[in-house]
Amino acid sequence: MKKIPDDFTREIKITSFDADCRLNLRLSAALRFQQEAGDGHLSEGGLDHTVLRKKGLVFVISRAFVWVNRLPRYGETVRLTTWSRGIIGSQFFRCYRFTDMDGGILMDNMSAFAPVDPDSHKLLRPFAAEWLVLPHLRDRECGPQPEKIKLPEKMPENAKRKIKFSDIDCNGHMNNAVYADIVCDHLPDSFYCRTVKSLTLNFKNEALWGDELVLAGCEEENAVYISGRYERGECFAAKMEFNKKKDAKK
């Protein structure tokens, strides 16, 4: 097995299908870019998704935090760098940083991943993957660690979302990026003209093709909470924070 480098960087040009109607990078597209960058980092050591699966391991995201200084714009070229932050308990932490071509920080993100058996979907302890030697850059500056969301007590149910074929990824469940779209699709109208400050996602149980999520939500002055449940229990929780000042519509 080849040595995995300390980090991995790729340049990305924001295309029309990466951008929203205001020409800003979609948060779901940012999560997809991050997923690809993480795979690219491991692939540098000969450990792409296919190899990991054959070895009896896949990484399933459990929490994510996205901090936004400025969303990249349609047509802009940016750099995305990722590195491993280390292991805490049974979780692998990975950092992602989007910068402009001058090095200015656009977005700082951190996600937690659980090692899982691809067939049984049971959690694996990190010692079960001793062969996976990652360079952990614990001292490198990164965004805040994703925290457990404390949902408000009153969260009225206000929508349902059926899981479709196109939502499912190669691990057999809804891809993590789709959750960002679900959150954005169910924001109160008054928040669509405001700029995003951060997004926190807690992934509690996987969503499968055919599941129907019952969505509940509430808003505060500068934040929106959204959760999804189904017949098996809790699926996800999200908190999206916004800057105080409203933007003019573009």
Looking at the structure, do residues 165 and 133 belong to the same domain, yes or no?
no
| Domain total of the chain | 2
If asked whether residues 69 and 108 sit together in one domain, one would say yes
Chain segment 118-175, per-residue pLDDT in tens: 888 788 876 666 677 788 898 898 888 999 999 999 999 999 999 999 999 988 899 9
| Structural domain that includes position 93 | 1-147
191-220 residue pLDDT tens: 998 999 999 999 999 999 999 999 999 999
Residue 138 shares a structural domain with residue 191: no
- Same domain, yes or no, for 125 and 153? no
Average pLDDT across the chain, whole number:
92
Instruction: Kindly state whether residues 247 and 228 are assigned to the same domain.
Output: yes
Q: Residue 33, Cβ neighbours under 10 Å: how many?
A: 22
User: 147, 180, 199 — which closes off a domain?
Assistant: 147
Q: What is the CATH number of the domain that holds 207?
A: 3.10.129.10
Q: What is the pTM of this model?
A: 0.91
